[in-house]
Amino acid sequence: GDVAVLVPAAGAGVRLGPGAPKALRLLAGEPLLVHAVRRIAAAGSVHTIVVAAPAGEVEAVRRLLAPVAPVLVVPGGAERQASVAAALAAVPAGPGIVLVHDAARALTPPELVESVAGAVRSGHDAVIPVLPVVDTIKEVGAGEVVLGTVDRSALRAVQTPQGFRRSVLAAAHAAAGDPLTDDAGLVEKQGIPVVCVPGSEYALKVTRPFDLALAEHLLAAGA
């Protein structure tokens, strides 16, 4: 394998409601992080997995993942971007491709990991999986008054894993300023082209209670 996968898993999961850190919340009896790592490890190109865990849960996460796959576990940071940077710093010499994949996208198929990695391997510096936007999107101003309708055909909803040539991601993080919600955003700021590939509905991010319920149903149906 020539791929390292960084798994930011240090978030609290505020939007999911009160409970354990989101990556440790249960989906069909197993933590979201276990589902996510199992699928990453099933992708044949993956050489190294580095998980950024909640700072107080590093040892617990090591024990949790030991039977699932060989992983490195580091403490995450206060923002997602800091968690990714911490994981990136722990990648050993070797892998030339680095993917960043949210633990919260627990049902992401190994095939999507391979397709993103393959697009980087074929020569793209930065690759993101996307889906078309299905809802009409309005821009609104003060008082929730509509200012206009955005051209949906030019919009994409962005998922993970996002894939990068290793040196490109490292340079983007080294130059990073204010925290962004994805890594491709940092690369865009460097003026480097980011290429889209088709995403997967199964790569949904478990964010709100509805998403957890949907993921339970998908898993029960064989995801």
Distance CA 113, CA 50 (A): 15
Distance CA 219, CA 212 (A): 10
> Among all chains, which residue has been given the structure tokens 């964010």?
207
Q: Which stretch binds ligand CTP (CB under 6 A): 2-10, 127-135, 167-175, 188-196?
A: 2-10
Pattern 97-116, ligand CTP, x by CB under 6 A: -----xxx------------
Pattern 168-207, ligand CTP, x by CB under 6 A: -------------------------------------x-x
Residue 12 contact among ligand CTP, Mg ion, none, beta carbon within 5 to 8 Å by kind:
ligand CTP
Handedness of CA 190, 196, 199, 204 (dihedral sign): positive
203-to-16, 91, 198 alpha-carbon distances in Å: 17, 24, 11
Q: Which residues bind Mg ion (CB under 5 A)?
A: 11
With respect to ligand CTP, which residue has the nearer C-beta, 8 or 129? 8
Residue nearest to ligand CTP (CB): 11
DSSP class of residue 107? T
CB of 153 to ligand CTP, least distance (A): 27
Tell me: does residue 61 bind ligand CTP (CB under 6 A). no
Strand partners of residue 212:
none
DSSP class of residue 56? G
Residue 204 contact among ligand CTP, Mg ion, none, beta carbon within 5 to 8 Å by kind:
none
Tell me: does residue 10 bind ligand CTP (CB under 6 A). yes
Tell me: does residue 8 bind ligand CTP (CB under 6 A). yes
With respect to ligand CTP, which residue has the nearer C-beta, 124 or 176? 176
194 contacts 187 by C-beta, under 8 angstroms: yes
Q: Give the pairing type, strands 195-198 and 126-132.
A: parallel
CB of 84 to ligand CTP, least distance (A): 7
Strand partners of residue 30:
27
Tell me: does residue 31 bind ligand CTP (CB under 6 A). no
In the three-class reduction of DSSP (H, G, I as helix; E, B as strand; rest coil), residue 47 is classed as strand
The candidate with the shortest Cα–Cα distance to 127, out of 19, 223, 3, 1, is 3
Enumerate binding residues for ligand CTP (CB under 6 A): 8-15, 22-23, 52, 76-80, 83, 102-104, 205, 207
